Amino acid sequence: MAAFYTTTASAELLAHLAIDHANQRIIDPACGSGALLLASYQRLRSLHERALERIDQEPPGSCRIRLIGTDIMPFSAHLATINLAIQQVETGEPPSFHVASLDATRLEKRMAIDGLQGGSIQIEGIGLVIMNPPFTRQELINNLPGEKEHSTLIDEYKDRAISNILAGTRTRYSGLLNKKQAFSSYFVVIADKLLDDGGCIAAVLPATILRTEYNHHLRAFLLANYSLRYI
């Protein structure tokens, strides 16, 4: 699966539209090099400055970590950690992020994850999932010459991914996921799993999620459970 990193301009636009107060706790489950996390950090910092506060000055007992990122590719997760660390060294602020290298299909609310920079954090209190998940489409893989074995591996991974995502969810996501969908559709369900009630999803998604038959049930789920703000 090829990596396509989010541009700075796109990340800043999405963060600006999605983050409207400085106390949001944010996760990017497909963080790549950390562009969306970095844009989110800068947006949070800007909102704090408007309130004449520093990003690390929180009420007693609250969690200082505001940004959580995960990526299945260790190189990407390390790159995100470095990019965020450089930003906070420049501002002189203590770390307000936690990045881990793991398979996002296994993420669960209240799950503890170990960060690359040390320590462990629990996934809880998430008010925003911001992401640019992978777009790979199964039918495109199937049509590539000499890609039969690769397609089979992707197909097997999708079986495992769907099983991981649906584990322990009872019937909430029944019928939403199938192997014809792009991986990005899977991440929409992952996002919903991680959010607290009243939370927001801000995502870069392919147009297929709006028009294909195999995303029909996912669209119906989103319309029933979310209010659309921007498209």
CATH of the domain at 89: 3.40.50.12420
The answer to whether the CB of 81 falls within 8 A of the CB of 101 is: no
Range(s) of the domain holding residue 143: 8-225
The answer to whether the CB of 186 falls within 8 A of the CB of 162 is: yes
What is the structure's pLDDT at 95? Answer: 67
Q: Is residue 181 part of a domain?
A: yes
Q: Is residue 112 part of a domain?
A: yes
Q: Is residue 12 part of a domain?
A: yes
Q: Is residue 230 part of a domain?
A: no
User: Per the structure, how many domains does the chain have?
Assistant: 1
- Mean pLDDT (whole number) for 80-96: 81
Q: Is residue 1 part of a domain?
A: no
pLDDT digits (tens, 9 = 90+) for 123-165: 999 999 999 998 765 544 444 445 556 677 788 889 999 999 9
pTM of the full structure: 0.87
Which alpha helices (H) appear in the chain, and where do they start and end? 8-18, 35-50, 74-91, 138-142, 148-166, 183-194, 208-211, 216-225
Band (58; pLDDT cuts 50, 70, 90): low
Tell me the residue type at 225: N
CA–CA gap between residue 81 and residue 114 (Å, rounded): 13
Q: Is residue 2 part of a domain?
A: no
